[in-house]
Structure 1
Amino acid sequence: MPVLVMKFGGTSVATLDRIRRAAKRVGREVANGYDVIVIVSAMSGETNKLVGFVGETSPLYDAREYDAVVSSGENVTAGLMALTLQEMDVPARSWQGWQVPLQTTSAHGQARIVDIPTDNISAKFGEGMKVAVVAGFQGISPEGRITTLGRGGSDTTAVAFAAAFDAERCDIYTDVDGVYTTDPRITDKAQKLEKIAFEEMLELASLGAKVLQTRSVELAMRYKVKLRVLSSFEEYDPNAGTLICAEEDIVESRVVSGVAASREEAKMTLTSVADQPGIAAAIFGPLADAGINVDMIVQNISDEGRTDMTFSCPTDQVKRAEKALADAKAAGLDFAELIADTGVAKISVVGIGMRSQSGVASKMFKVLSEEGINIKVIATSEIKISVLVDRKYTELAVQALHDAFELDKVA
């Protein structure tokens, strides 16, 4: 039988009624001739509650025990989903990560998938099981301990299973009905996309679009897993949602497919840095060691052997970045001061059509200029242009760019 992977997020399994609704969708796919692997998240709010319990019990917790606690939410959902399917006369059983076994690294709380052997689940499919309900977000380390994959890890689990079992498709059920040209909460002109390329979705996910975890899109692109994002709250429609696929599966590439905004950005500037070989490594090495997610980097023109170095990072990492650079300065890193601007937002336009179409940057900068929005930092890639602006202009910038690139006309 062909295999279909279906992933249900926390809001889709938040109550027993919602689990029953999700189970009906699974039963329909079984009736359509699929063996189904269902990946489930914890019921909405459960993971936060478990994380809170750990924090209250042990502020300086053992990461191995943290994983043992927070992974339990997915186990509950998997068991309830399997029971619900059995009540519908659909042969199903639940699987925890160690039972598959989903093998991971030993990095507790942020483990990465190493391998998913297919033998155990495939053998059960051969014996008549029609649905394997797998607890997402979790695996087992080489030491035999339970591990978790980080927030949003159930998306990654689903894509990894689709790749391992050569699934026909991986359906991600969530509380939105697809991928939009921008955040519908910012502009009511946002349009749902029928298809979007892996590269575009990866950029949008990394730039603030919270539909999918970035790692899951990277994995899908690497193994060419077709993803479909759709709502678990709408009536069944075989053509619903947004298909995330290879560029060659899209008949005509749009110049710009979407506008993304991330408000949780900070601009960090080191002034009067010694302009000499190795200085960039001396700055960004300590930041990497501290786990700082550096994004945009700009170096000013050197003047009398000194320069300024600016980079962006998430606002919740500013304190760690400041400490890492203060320690580096104490150890000999030559700069005058570090200035943090936590009142910025990152605005980005994304589209695979940029590869063959010129003038996108010029148009973007002109639009922002006409709205009186000053650009603080610019960064580009083959299919993306990002700028940092004052956070108070986030909505205005997104709306103006969405209109300028006529994304309300995207089908």
Structure 2
Amino acid sequence: MSLIVAKFGGTSVADVERIERAADKIRREVELGNKVVVVVSAMSGVTNTLVGYCDEISKLQDLREYDTVVSAGEQITAGLMSMALQKRGVSARSWMGWQIPFITNEMHGKARITDIDTTEINKRLAENEVAVIPGFQGVTPRNRISTLGRGGSDTSAVAMAAALEADRCDIYTDVDGVYTTDPRIVPQARKIDKISFEEMMELASLGAKVLQTRSVEIAMKKGVALQVLSSFEDHIGSDLPGTLIVKEDKDMEEELVSGIACARNEAKITLIGVEDQPGIASKLFAPLANAGIGVDMIVQNISHDGKATDMTFTVARADKERAIQTLENADVSCKEIRAADNVAKISVVGVGMISHSGVASKMFDTLAEKNINIQVISTSEIKISVLIEEDYAELAVRALHAAYGLEEPA
């Protein structure tokens, strides 16, 4: 007998037929003797519709009321899922975030979880009742409904699994696992059976949309075993058909590279003729941080005269104009600010890099053979990222995927 948290994404509960299919999977888990908590997203498209209603009223909403509106989608799904389980003879009830309660801070629209009281949920699980919980939502200390931001249902599920000390958290989605790269770009991409938290965190942050980054971060910190699997196949989570995301083990280091990621949501900003003096980086990046603009790749050129240098960095494409405006108002003088959004970030990820050399040189040689120019480079212990012209993104991914031998065997 295991305690399992099963999360179903929007496409997995897109209509009543799919909710019924998901309920069948939960019934099978219960028949195996497992205790189950179900976390559900809003039905596909519902959250976007609710956000649209808010925008029709005002683009500058009271975020407390915005959260009240957009959290309604998950509430509907939770009720329907409970009905579908009851129809199958499974004891089940729905819980709203405030009923558990799922406590968050007061950062409405992108709240952070601070505590989960599992007392009542544990009591009901002991009575073999399935708890159906809406993802994405919680309640603040002031008793206002809060939401966790886009992709927040993944975070809800992993946080609940950690609080309950569950044996596993199954993330049901529209793909059957984590792949070595986007199968739409490389049809020969291979499903990964097991991947480390660190690798999954890098892939999630670099554009892989299978899991939300915060959920992987919590799973790694709390030691929650995750599985990504498809809700459209006949398997259930206990069959372990998907990709397991677990603590790194020695076998993983034998795999040099686990995956190739491609992020097309980057913009490159270059400051020409910045003063070359101590503290200049702080003067540049502190205002961006205060404006809530995240900076990713950074490179500073060598100063030839000791007086001026050029500095290049990347931000999210959606933040490009705000970043330029912030820099223009900052206490920094430069000759010119240049910006470009026709760029893509290509990354090679793998824990095997820690104990093997030559990964970077192979990446650079492969791109050179395809006549792809590298604009910016950044590295971590298990990742190498390069910024290239966006038109060459898919060619780069295909070439690197082949170069590291990641294709599915013929």
User: Could you say which TM-score interval applies, normalised by the shorter chain?
Assistant: over 0.9
Aligned to 2:140: 141
Instruction: State the distance in 2 between where 1:120 and 1:250 align.
Output: 40
Instruction: State the distance in 2 between where 1:229 and 1:250 align.
Output: 20
The equivalences for 1:82-231 within 5 A come to 82-126=82-126, 128-231=127-230
1:108-149, CA deviations, whole angstroms, 9 ceiling, x for partnerless residues?
0010000111101112223x2421000000001111110000
How large is the Cα RMSD of the aligned pairs? 1.3
Q: What TM-score results when the alignment is normalised by the length of structure 2?
A: 0.97
Q: Contact conserved, 2:36 with 2:125, CA < 8 A, in 1?
A: no
1:35-93, CA deviations, whole angstroms, 9 ceiling, x for partnerless residues?
11100000000000000000001222100000000000000000000011111110100
Q: Contact conserved, 2:189 with 2:408, CA < 8 A, in 1?
A: no
Instruction: State the distance in 1 between where 2:385 and 2:235 align.
Output: 37
Aligned to 2:313: 311
Instruction: State the distance in 1 between where 2:146 and 2:179 align.
Output: 33
How many residues align structurally? Answer: 407
Q: Contact conserved, 2:43 with 2:77, CA < 8 A, in 1?
A: yes
Query: Which of the numbers 311, 319, 323 marks the counterpart of 1:321?
Result: 323
How far residue 291 of structure 1 moved from its aligned partner, in angstroms, is: 1.3
Q: Contact conserved, 2:137 with 2:146, CA < 8 A, in 1?
A: yes
Instruction: State the distance in 2 between where 1:111 and 1:8 align.
Output: 21
Change in 2 beyond 3 A, CA 1:133/1:250: farther
- Say which SS state the counterpart of residue 160 (structure 1) adopts: helix
1:136-163, CA deviations, whole angstroms, 9 ceiling, x for partnerless residues?
0000111111000000000000000110
Instruction: State the distance in 1 between where 2:58 and 2:359 align.
Output: 51
Instruction: State the distance in 2 between where 1:408 and 1:105 align.
Output: 44
Q: What TM-score results when the alignment is normalised by the length of structure 1?
A: 0.97
Instruction: State the distance in 2 between where 1:283 and 1:252 align.
Output: 38
Give, as a single letter, the amino acid of the residue that structure 1 aligns with 2:261: A
Give the unaligned 5+ runs of structure 1: none
- Say which SS state the counterpart of residue 296 (structure 1) adopts: strand
Q: Contact conserved, 1:30 with 1:130, CA < 8 A, in 2?
A: no
Give, as a single letter, the amino acid of the residue that structure 2 aligns with 1:81: M
The equivalences for 1:355-370 within 5 A come to 355-370=354-369
Aligned to 1:7: 7
What is the aligned-residue identity percentage? 60
Give, as a single letter, the amino acid of the residue that structure 2 aligns with 1:57: I
Q: Contact conserved, 1:186 with 1:399, CA < 8 A, in 2?
A: yes
Moved more, 233-242 or 377-386: 233-242
How far residue 185 of structure 1 moved from its aligned partner, in angstroms, is: 0.3
Moved more, 234-243 or 49-58: 234-243
Runs of 4+ in 1 over 4 A off after TM superposition: 249-252
How far residue 239 of structure 1 moved from its aligned partner, in angstroms, is: 2.8
- Say which SS state the counterpart of residue 283 (structure 1) adopts: helix
- Say which SS state the counterpart of residue 260 (structure 1) adopts: strand
Aligned to 1:277: 278
1:338-378, CA deviations, whole angstroms, 9 ceiling, x for partnerless residues?
10011000000000000000010001000000000000000
Give, as a single letter, the amino acid of the residue that structure 1 aligns with 2:325: K
Give the unaligned 5+ runs of structure 2: none
The equivalences for 1:23-62 within 5 A come to 23-62=23-62
Q: Contact conserved, 2:3 with 2:166, CA < 8 A, in 1?
A: yes
Aligned to 2:68: 68
Instruction: State the distance in 2 between where 1:77 and 1:153 align.
Output: 15
How far residue 187 of structure 1 moved from its aligned partner, in angstroms, is: 0.9
Give, as a single letter, the amino acid of the residue that structure 2 aligns with 1:320: R
Aligned to 1:256: 257
Instruction: State the distance in 1 between where 2:71 and 2:205 align.
Output: 25
Q: Contact conserved, 1:197 with 1:250, CA < 8 A, in 2?
A: no
1:318-351, CA deviations, whole angstroms, 9 ceiling, x for partnerless residues?
01101111111xxx31222210011000000000
Q: Contact conserved, 2:124 with 2:130, CA < 8 A, in 1?
A: no
Give, as a single letter, the amino acid of the residue that structure 1 aligns with 2:320: V
Aligned to 2:290: 289
Give, as a single letter, the amino acid of the residue that structure 1 aligns with 2:315: C
